[in-house]
């Protein structure tokens, strides 16, 4: 029987699972992916885990872009200050 590791943050895992289920219902791309995998006889837990993983990757991509933008703005500001 599967279980959650005692080292895991159970609240985050619950929130990710709920977000994945919501994304399956409301996001057309993820919904189509879910239906395609379901038609391929994949287990529902495996599909939800795949969606959770996809959500984590999207969040990390957004964070990387945000960090890049902030660093770019900061570098431009520093260059502007040193020009005077």
Is residue 47 exposed (0-12), middle (13-18) or buried (19+ Cβ within 10 Å)? buried
Instruction: Dump pLDDT digits (tens) for 32-78.
Output: 999 999 999 999 999 999 999 999 999 999 999 999 999 998 888 88
Structural domain range at position 73? 10-83
Q: Is 5 or 25 the better-scoring residue by pLDDT?
A: 25
What's the total number of domains in the chain? 1
Q: How many residues does the chain have?
A: 84
Identify whether 2 is part of a domain.
Answer: no
Identify whether 68 is part of a domain.
Answer: yes
Identify whether 5 is part of a domain.
Answer: no
Instruction: Dump pLDDT digits (tens) for 5-19.
Output: 777 888 999 999 999
Identify whether 69 is part of a domain.
Answer: yes
Q: How confident is the model at residue 24 (pLDDT cuts 50, 70, 90)?
A: very high
Answer yes or no: is pLDDT of 1 > 70: no
């Amino acid at each position: 029987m599967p279980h959650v590791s005692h080292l895991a943050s159970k609240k985050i895992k619950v929130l990710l699972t709920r977000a994945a289920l919501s994304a399956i219902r409301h996001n057309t791309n993820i919904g189509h992916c879910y239906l395609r995998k379901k038609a391929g006889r994949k287990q529902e837990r495996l599909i939800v885990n795949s969606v959770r993983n996809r959500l984590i990757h999207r969040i990390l991509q957004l964070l990387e872009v945000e960090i890049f933008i902030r660093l770019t703005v900061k570098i431009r500001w520093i260059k502007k200050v040193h020009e005077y």
